[in-house]
Amino acid sequence: MKALLLVILAALPLSAAETLHVFTWADYINPDVVEKFESQHACRVVIDTFDSNEAMYAKLKAGASGYDVIFPTSYMVTVMVQEGLLNELDHSKLPEIKQVDPSVLDKVSDKTMRHSVPYTLGYAVIAYRQDKVKSPLPSWSMFERPELAQRITLFDDMRETIGAALKSLGYSINTRDDAHLEAAQKVLLRWKMNAAKFDNEGYKAGLDSGEFLLVHGYSGDLFQLAQENSKIGILIPREGVSMNCDEMVIPKTASQKELAHAFINFLLDPGIAAENMEWMGYLCPNTEALKKVSPSFLKNPSVTIPEEVRAKSEVIQDLGVDLKKYSKIWDAVKR
């Protein structure tokens, strides 16, 4: 049947096959999973990528309207709902929505999944070259090591990087306290003097090649990299990290709402979710899927962090008007 569907799909003119346009992070959906969906639904899936929530949001606000499914982080979902950018989900078309771990819903704003469905739970952590970095510590203080000067990268992401500095001081990544934010700015300026660049994508290739020795990155990306290069180690800062719940949403401008629901439901299927998470290195908050993954996957430090660190970790929240405090710091650090 699969072979027949592929033959039929290949024979269709491109204009005749339904096309689902997805806007997501790089390396975030297993290509084999995408092919299976295309086969089952006799459609094409076209994937565009973004490297920050803010870049994605800016593109939508500028008028981009060709996307059917988008994968924003929870705090950005809140903003998109407030802006009226998202379609309400039809739960009758999402029977696999029952698989979502209720404990994760406690950490996001859309607890009833009216507009969004949790896709992954990940962390912003540190990775390093085990062959070149001596006496590594699971701490944000690693970014101040003088011997690593100009061989370090920091996220080019306002909330993640300011959040890391706040955590290094024992403060909340969602603080609105001016004194806390001023202290974090001083930390970031020290880190900047030590860093080669602010970067969201090139850090992976740079760490792999040895150009960079210490990087700030997403757990799933670093999991994939460590699987390919045994010289790469992962550090989970003991002061706490940001916990990112990325979610699946359907924008109001979507032209393929039926197919979009089908795609979300497909990714929630336990077997598909297990296959997908083992490939991308992120934990899917899917209770049945977690029973299907390998024990080694769950033991990986970039997937399951120590409970004492998890207790200190937080989900980035929408700050409303107080976001301008963070923007002011970011502008001062980046100039």
Q: Are residues 160 and 235 in the same domain?
A: yes
Which pLDDT band holds residue 195 (cuts at 50, 70, 90)?
very high
> Is pLDDT of 25 > 80?
yes
- Read off the tokens for 145: 């090591």
Which pLDDT band holds residue 6 (cuts at 50, 70, 90)?
very low
Half-sphere exposure of 43 (CA within 13 A, CB side): 17
Q: What is the pLDDT, as a whole number, of residue 201?
A: 85
Residue 197 buriedness (CB in 10 A; 0-12 / 13-18 / 19+): middle
48-68 pLDDT, tens digit per residue, is 999 889 899 999 999 888 999
The C-alpha atoms of residue 294 and residue 279 are separated, in whole angstroms, by 12
Least-confidence region, from 85-89, 179-183, 304-308: 304-308
Q: What is the pLDDT, as a whole number, of residue 163?
A: 97
Q: Are residues 55 and 90 in the same domain?
A: yes
Q: Are residues 98 and 113 in the same domain?
A: yes
- Mean pLDDT score of the chain: 92
pTM: 0.78
Q: What is the pLDDT, as a whole number, of residue 8?
A: 47
Q: What is the pLDDT, as a whole number, of residue 9?
A: 47
Which pLDDT band holds residue 5 (cuts at 50, 70, 90)?
very low
239-290 pLDDT, tens digit per residue, is 999 988 999 999 999 999 999 999 999 999 999 999 999 999 889 999 999 9
Q: What is the pLDDT, as a whole number, of residue 51?
A: 87
Domain at 35, CATH number: 3.40.190.10
Q: Are residues 25 and 141 in the same domain?
A: no
> Is pLDDT of 1 > 70?
no
Residue 62, domain extent = 2-120+244-298
Q: What is the pLDDT, as a whole number, of residue 122?
A: 86
Q: Are residues 171 and 188 in the same domain?
A: yes
Q: Are residues 107 and 248 in the same domain?
A: yes
Q: What are phi and psi of 67, to 5 degrees?
A: -100, 145
Higher pLDDT, 14 or 300: 300
Q: What is the pLDDT, as a whole number, of residue 234?
A: 94
Q: Are residues 195 and 314 in the same domain?
A: yes
Q: Are residues 26 and 81 in the same domain?
A: yes
> Is pLDDT of 168 > 60?
yes
Q: Are residues 28 and 148 in the same domain?
A: no
Number of compact structural domains in the chain: 2
Q: Are residues 269 and 203 in the same domain?
A: no
CB atoms within 10 A of CB 39: 17
Closest residue by Cα to residue 57 from 155, 125, 159:
159
Q: What is the pLDDT, as a whole number, of residue 242?
A: 93
Question: Is residue 195 a contact partner of residue 152, using CB atoms and an 8 Å limit?
Answer: yes
Q: Are residues 249 and 213 in the same domain?
A: no
Half-sphere exposure of 72 (CA within 13 A, CB side): 31
- The widest CA-to-CA distance across the chain, in whole angstroms, is 64
Which pLDDT band holds residue 16 (cuts at 50, 70, 90)?
low
Q: What is the pLDDT, as a whole number, of residue 7?
A: 46
Q: What is the pLDDT, as a whole number, of residue 15?
A: 44
Which pLDDT band holds residue 103 (cuts at 50, 70, 90)?
confident
Which pLDDT band holds residue 13 (cuts at 50, 70, 90)?
very low
Q: Are residues 248 and 238 in the same domain?
A: no
